[in-house]
Chain A
Amino acid sequence: MSMLSAESLALIDKEIAKYPADQRQSAVMSALRIAQVEKGWLSTETMDFVAHYLGMQPIAVYEVATFYNMYNIKPVGKHKLCVCTNLPCKLMGADEIADRLKKKLGIEFGETTEDKQFTLVEGECMGACGDAPLLLVNNHRMESFLNEEKIDALLDELKNK
């Protein structure tokens, strides 16, 4: 029995094929990303599985999972909201956006709502400063030019998902 779904494994295999045959480890970042999309976060078992699948030592996988900050090495809420507060976003009101989110969700950065729906984290530069302020929903969806109305609408949308 596999730790990951056949769909996930197929995606991982596609990534492995991008690299020379003796460099399966190159696919570890994608493999962890794909595993995280399926599982929500990277448990010890999941990382062990990925290590085994790619022929790596588990600690080498753990090094990667803890180095890149988009991996969830602890369980997170259904929707992880990552707000960039770096200088260009801050100049455009990122702190107010963050405060609004904190207030509406009743949590601080690094926390998860009791109903496990939302996790709020502080992000670093996402390379989209022209669209500031902005946030990421579950790593892969970017919301730009944020203001209070947009925040409210986003939370309403996600709550009903």
Chain B
Amino acid sequence: MVIQPGPVIFNTLHLPEPWKLSTYVSAGGYSALRKILAENIPAETIIAEVKTSALRGRGGAGFPTGLKWSFMPRQFPGDKYIVCNSDEGEPGTFKDRDIMRYNPHALIEGMIIAGYTLGAKAGYNYIHGEIWDIYEGMERAVEEARAAGYLGDNILGSDFSFDLYNHHGYGAYICGEETALLESIEGKKGQPRFKPPFPASFGLYGKPTTINNTETLASIPYIMREGGQKFLELGRPNNGGTKVFSVSGHVEKPGNYEIPMGTPFSELLEMAGGIRGGRQLKAVIPGGSSAPVLPGEIMMDCTMDFDSIAKAGSMLGSGAVIVMDETVCMVRALERLSYFYYEESCGQCTPCREGTGWMYRVVHRIEHGQGRPEDLDLLDRVAGNIAGRTICALGDAAAMPVQGMLKHYRHEFEHHIEHRKCLVQSGAM
């Protein structure tokens, strides 16, 4: 797998043992924290800097980070928490794994700065269950940071105390939803909470809590070291910085690419070696499995930023780009995605618990030659009855792939129903 280094996230990658504390420090790591603590920089200043950077949440929703931080009741007496969402399980997304593997201290420094800014005394980093070696690596990195005095009481001799702990998930996509993640840290099943109240007022253990994605927090040291303006200029207005795009599927060189926001998709595809075996691009899911699919030709006109992809009718999401070539049967692709949401629905609220299974079964029937003419309208209707009716966004995430596929590839589904077989004859899948 390829990793394309960049200035913000993969800035130690060119060095030997890039994950080590000493390597990180040699690349300027922890200097931002030192400066903040030495100069006692006020929280408002840090939040202003983050706002300047136009950093938007890298977990999928793209919410402006500085704005999110400003919601935190920093003066609230008592415990507050900063939580990192490293529960990366959206099919197609695998950037946070490599951030934690190759640059864990960028995340740790980012969390400490966030803790300082938000008045948190502790942070939890929730790590996806299936990447055990990454969890172990993060445990080592946290130990390293603690031993070096970056964590614990009176960090670097200041009066700021903060500690950081890794929490290991154990197999539930829904815990990537931030309130499900909080429930999970509390030792419960990961069922999302109804909002309001929002985590900023009632979060972990009922205390004010800010939750950010791994990549978001790992971008903070750069912003504080180099300045928000510089970060912003790496990308484009309203879409600051570089961003790690995870490219998977039918490309020659799958991998993580740290590139400026707003880079044309065509360039990214080229970086990834183009479509494997010289085949034709058919479709792209541009932002992780829940983003609606876009036909290749639409995608080739897009740039990789929140606004451009949204305009094309999909979502940049977590920046997970699933590339599909001409051999792909969209019915089969949707069958698998629908199964995923059916399997991962937490079961809490009615539309998602009941509707995801319904959608999967209908798509499964169509794929297996049992489709009925009325099925496509039914799918549209069921998806419509799930979307926007659930406690969390998983309902939308389950509905959007169905709606996206039916929007762009309805004819493939109709063919399946009518002829009880696949339109894509040479299908690799």
Contacts and interface: CB of A to CB of B under 8 A. Distances in A.
A128 B187 contact: no
Contacts of B289: 86-87, 125
Contact of A124 (B190, B247, B343): B343
A66 to B, nearest CB: 8
Contact of A64 (B133, B187, B340): B187
Given A29-B168, A124-B343, A130-B94, A23 B187 contact: yes
A23 B94 contact: no
B356 to A, nearest CB: 13
Given A86-B340, A87-B336, A125 B170 contact: no
Contact of A142 (B133, B186, B189, B247): B133
A139 interface: yes
Interface string A42-80: 000000000000101000100110011111000000000
Contacts of A125: 89-93, 173, 289, 340
B322 A69 contact: no
Nearest to A32: B170
Nearest to A33: B170
A126 B339 CA distance: 15
Nearest to A126: B130
B171 interface: yes
A136 B289 CA distance: 21
Interface in A16-39: 18-20, 23-30, 32-33
B130 A26 contact: no
B130 A128 contact: yes
Nearest to B323: A91
Contacts of A140: 132-133
Interface string A91-133: 1110100000000000000000000000000011111111110
Contact of B248 (A64, A70, A85, A130): A130
Nearest to A30: B168
Interface string B171-209: 111000000000011111110000000000000010000
Interface string B212-248: 0000000000000000000000000000000000111
Given A23-B186, A141-B132, A129 B93 contact: yes
B171 to A, nearest CB: 4
Contact of A87 (B132, B165, B173, B337): B337
Contacts of A141: 132-133
Interface residues of A, number: 48
A159 B14 CA distance: 39
Given A85-B336, A130-B94, A68 B343 contact: no
B170 A70 contact: yes
A70 B168 CA distance: 12
A127 B187 contact: no
A34 to B, nearest CB: 10
A14 B129 CA distance: 18
B254 interface: yes
Contacts of A28: 187
B250 interface: yes
Contact of B167 (A18, A127, A142): A18
A63 B347 CA distance: 12
B187 A91 contact: no
A27 B89 CA distance: 22
B148 interface: no
Contacts of B1: 130-131, 144
A32 B171 CA distance: 13
A124 B205 CA distance: 29
B124 to A, nearest CB: 8
Contacts of A54: 187
Given A87-B92, A87-B289, A91-B328, A29 B132 contact: no
Enumerate the 3 nearest inter-chain pairs by beta-carbon distance, A residue then B residue, closest first.
A25-B187, A70-B171, A126-B130
12 contacts: A20-B205, A60-B188, A64-B188, A68-B171, A69-B170, A91-B322, A91-B429, A125-B289, A126-B130, A127-B96, A128-B131, A141-B132
Given A67-B189, A139-B130, A144-B1, 13 more contacts: A18-B124, A25-B187, A28-B187, A29-B170, A32-B170, A63-B189, A68-B169, A71-B171, A87-B340, A127-B97, A127-B128, A129-B246, A130-B1
